[in-house]
Structure 1
Amino acid sequence: MRTLIAALVLSALSPLTWALDAADQQRLTTIQQRWAEIQYGLPEAQRTQAFEQLAGQANAITQARPQAAEAWIWSGIVTSSWAGAQGGLGALSKAKTAKADLERALALDPTALQGSAYTSLAALYDRVPGWPIGFGDADKAEQLLKQALQVNPTGIDSLYFWGDHLYRQKRYDQARDALQKALLAAPRPGRESADAGRRKEIERLLAEIAKQFN
């Protein structure tokens, strides 16, 4: 399972952002910044423990603000990242917890953080093993990714995960197009590290796709 990421852009149009005061929003900003530090700055061997600590902080916000979709999204992202760092069947319970968090976010506000719950949940369905071991389902992932693109058609994350999904389905031409569009996504203020890391992932995947045409 690959580590997951979603955009932290609080939507001014969502009434559920009212559940977060300035201090809460700063706590979420700190979590997303720490997420990028762990994912793109720490050696792989150190990520599991670091994500475990961060998951505790994210969970604390969901307990304090249970009606805030943004809090559940970041709890799901961090927990799924923890699962990805751990790997193996032992991480499946964490993936299920992340799935529940993201589903809770969708029930509260599917447009929160520009539809990031759709993207993150789709990534889980794409990467978790299928039945009877896990809940992985490529068809479900595609459905969710299309919903994510309806909310955020030009976002670097929504386009990256759509391209990754198409690559997994061996739809290489479509995957290349989606990933090239992802590279054109507008920079996200305050998320420079995450954007830089994501662009490297996109470039690596484009290189893998290029091999399919040689």
Structure 2
Amino acid sequence: MRTTMKYALVHLRTVMAAVLLTSGAAPLAAAPAASPSQFESEVLAVANDWARVKYLSKSDGERKQSMDEVGARADALAQKYPDRPEALIWDGIVTSERASLTWGMTALDLASRARDVLLKAVRMDPKAYDAGALTSLGVLYYRVPGFPFGWGDKEKARTYLETAVRYAPNGRDAHYFYADFLYEQGEYRKAEAVLKEGLSSPAHPERPIWDAYFPKVMQGLLAKVRERERS
């Protein structure tokens, strides 16, 4: 049993993106209203730093340390704008990424924090940021082990990801992660169709690193899907 539990907890390193947060701290008063451009620039700064660390770090050690630093800024952003779903979504995404870079109970704790903050964002606006909260929740639910080692749930994952694609027909993330889920379930033909839709989505020049690297990630998954279809 100990060996099985250890394996399941280590498996938490695969938790992605968003793909959620319960700090236990007293709720903060809402920040004074910021101009749209100020708020958007703060969110975009976190998004671009996440992409820089994720795709351009030279080692896992560097990636983990730098992502923890981005995580502190994402936490602060969510505390500053507790009523803005976009801020909560990015806090959830970065927290999920931090979970994927560690293991054991630390990974489970981070994944659980990410889940909780993303659930708050969904309650505010499930369509915000190309259904980013729904997408990241779906990723967490299919990457985290199920009972008794975690709270993962494949059926919940499917529901979240299907809803994300419906709410964000031009969302690259929603399409990629839904296709990744379908690939893991052996639904290769459907996964290919979903990936093709995602690859035709508009570019995001305001996020240059993500815009350059994520289509390559999608193409890589498409190649794996097609290989399985041929086999």
**TM-score (structure 1 length as normaliser):** 0.89
1:3 corresponds, among 16, 26, 31, to 16
CA contact (8 A) 2:18 2:133 kept: no
Residue 74 (structure 2) pairs with residue 24 (structure 1): no
Residue 134 (structure 2) pairs with residue 118 (structure 1): yes
Where in structure 2 are the equivalents of 1:54-73 lying within 5 Å?
54-73=70-89
Q: Extract unaligned runs of 5+ from structure 2.
A: 1-13, 20-31
The structure whose RCO (Cα within 8 Å, separation 6+) is larger is 2
User: 1:2 Cα shift?
Assistant: 4.3
Where in structure 2 are the equivalents of 1:61-210 lying within 5 Å?
61-210=77-226
Residue 54 (structure 2) pairs with residue 39 (structure 1): yes
User: 1:180 Cα shift?
Assistant: 1.9
CA contact (8 A) 2:18 2:137 kept: no
CA contact (8 A) 1:38 1:47 kept: yes
| Matched positions, count | 203
User: 1:98 Cα shift?
Assistant: 0.3
Going from structure 1 to structure 2, the CA distance change for 1:89 and 1:208 (only over 3 Å counts) comes to farther
Please give the alpha-carbon distance, in whole angstroms, between the structure 2 residues aligned to 1:160 and 1:48.
23
Please give the alpha-carbon distance, in whole angstroms, between the structure 1 residues aligned to 2:200 and 2:174.
13
Deviations 1:162-189 (A, max 9, x none): 1111001100111111112221111013
Q: Which has the larger radius of gyration?
A: 2
Question: Considering only aligned residues, what root-mean-square deviation do their CA atoms show, in Å?
Answer: 1.7
Going from structure 1 to structure 2, the CA distance change for 1:113 and 1:157 (only over 3 Å counts) comes to same
Deviations 1:105-135 (A, max 9, x none): 1112212112110001111111111111111
What secondary structure, in the 3-state scheme, does the structure 1 residue paired with 2:101 have? helix
CA contact (8 A) 2:205 2:211 kept: no
| Paired amino acid for 2:17 | L
User: 1:89 Cα shift?
Assistant: 4.4
CA contact (8 A) 2:15 2:111 kept: no
Deviations 1:36-63 (A, max 9, x none): 1011111323111111111111111111
User: 1:34 Cα shift?
Assistant: 0.3
User: 1:209 Cα shift?
Assistant: 1.7
Going from structure 1 to structure 2, the CA distance change for 1:128 and 1:19 (only over 3 Å counts) comes to farther
The residue aligned with 1:211 is: 227
Q: Extract unaligned runs of 5+ from structure 1.
A: 7-17
Q: Which 4+ residue blocks in structure 1 deviate beyond 6 angstroms?
A: none
User: 1:24 Cα shift?
Assistant: 2.5
CA contact (8 A) 2:95 2:113 kept: yes
The residue aligned with 1:11 is: none
